[in-house]
Structure 1
């Protein structure tokens, strides 16, 4: 179904509103690489980048099952109807949910909560339709390309909250080797920010350019641990967001206050641990003394 009537998405609306990048990456053959091109040229390709590296405008799931469309639209279902399903002749498809009115920023190191939530939503949708957890999510089957049979759904976007299902997990693993999809962005942010705060103290008297390069190196190191690494454009954007925010906003007073707070928390934990260890050792000593006395 390639046309829309009433409240159903259309080719034109997908090209004009859903597709966000001004110069998206696109290709006709994934094995031959992807290239940035104009929107008009990209829309003639079989695969296209649906969201730029900085903003998440859609959640796309790769459903590697021959009944992908049925899984996407079957009623009753535990997930909202997708805005589009672009399927190959085999029935395998990319299933897309359009986000709005506000898109999710993937590069703002000061606002990770929406991105973490989007990651959980993405995971829940994958579970719901049996999606491929190895799918990176950057390029999608172009719905308006004639090689795909496209079934369109609602013509209005969803909020993240509207896409929550019973499968949406409460927490996600943060180990790099377990991070997939949007989880890679979240893991890279968390790992690099935790590393960067104490590193800033050692490099605060250097230049901002050297600091940017140092953070980029660490982001790249985290990225290499992912099963499917993020594109360099996303790694660079993430590194720049973290390095610039810390460099512009962090001061020696803030650093000392942060260290004091962490030390206070750690001190309490250490004290409790030491107290428990002392009690355990005392109990062991008493038991040993009693045995010797009995014998």
Structure 2
């Protein structure tokens, strides 16, 4: 497949080469591209420029206005059949088989389309694009994600104008009134307007609103059932395209919608959290039971004088696990036997003394108390010699 330009060597003798190289410099680093419409690809622009259709504008800003004139003779109609005041396109990319074409208008300054950008500037761009589509009798449903690539040999390319436009200059040519490019989004208050970028976005925006309603009927069901429902909606809608999306892309869109609705619906999400909590408790309990015998073995080894490092290597567990198993075990043993010790004390004073004795026992016995449990008895006789001063 031949390319009408080489990126590394720009031939300035040709207006076409000059403006196409300028367009190449303005392309996104990894634009969408295709040559067959069986699925868009994302490629480095050195590879993308070899495809017949390519993404012209950057995702976050737009430097070009592209009009899709989808009717025979479009390439010459703007000169002879329309108003004389129509702004001259910078590029006209013509399909020689049917004489349909894309009109390119290049802007001096790109218009930012991020969430934090000026909404008025975006409305200004959209209104000019809408008016150009109207006067050139372009396709109003064309969303501009990809366009005919002027660097591809498949098309005939004309360059009527090299100079870039400002939006205000285009407004003067189109004789737009201020109310036509201000508050463009207020035509239908309360109805959300969105830009649909290709078939994926069309499916997403068509089905998601239905999903917001349908989720209520799946509150007592599982996520798998809900996902299958959303996927079936998308599969049916995908059949309406002349070139349907691949099954993998339909599934990816279904998963995105299903997960969002499931998480945002408080009832479904709460049930999901409760099920996860129950599963986690079961799993944690089973995992804990698995190490009971190992913890007892670790205690016995420690009582016999083995080091914690030796125990971790012998049991093939981490040193941190051994520390965690044996942490506080002396205190637990003392508390376990403290209640029995209190019972044999005859008054409150002796019960206070019993607490002291229990702590003392833990210190004295040290490692030998590690393996005590409820089934074992600890018998200790302690004798005190008290010297009482004679009155």
Give the TM-score taking structure 2 as reference length: 0.42
Q: What SS does the aligned partner of 1:40 have?
A: helix
Match of 2:147 in 1: 140
Q: 1:6 to 1:71 in 2, by over 3 A?
A: farther
- Whether 1:68 and 2:77 are equivalent positions in the alignment is no
Match of 2:103 in 1: 95
Give a deviation string over 1:182-218, Cα, whole Å, max 9, x none.
Answer: xx9xxx9xxxxxxxxxxxxxxxxxxxxxxxxxxxxxx
- Whether 1:166 and 2:166 are equivalent positions in the alignment is no
Q: 1:6 to 1:125 in 2, by over 3 A?
A: farther
State whether residues 69 and 139 of structure 2, in contact with CA within 8 Å, keep that contact through their aligned partners in structure 1: yes
How many residues of Structure 1 are paired with residues of Structure 2 in the alignment? 186
Q: 1:138 to 1:9 in 2, by over 3 A?
A: farther
- Choose between structure 1 and 2 for higher RCO, CA contacts under 8 A separated by at least 6 residues: 1
Match of 1:262 in 2: none
- Whether 1:105 and 2:118 are equivalent positions in the alignment is no
State whether residues 128 and 167 of structure 2, in contact with CA within 8 Å, keep that contact through their aligned partners in structure 1: yes
Q: 1:37 to 1:6 in 2, by over 3 A?
A: closer
What pairs up with 1:12-51 in 2 under 5 angstroms? 12-17=18-23, 19-30=26-37, 32-51=38-57
CA distance in 2, matches of 1:41, 1:11: 18
Q: 1:58 to 1:176 in 2, by over 3 A?
A: same
What pairs up with 1:1-295 in 2 under 5 angstroms? 9-17=15-23, 19-30=26-37, 32-74=38-80, 77-88=84-95, 89-100=97-108, 102-164=109-171, 165-166=174-175, 169-170=180-181, 171-172=184-185, 173-174=187-188, 175-176=191-192
State whether residues 84 and 153 of structure 1, in contact with CA within 8 Å, keep that contact through their aligned partners in structure 2: yes
Report the alpha carbon displacement of residue 77 of structure 1 after superposing the two structures with TM: 2.2
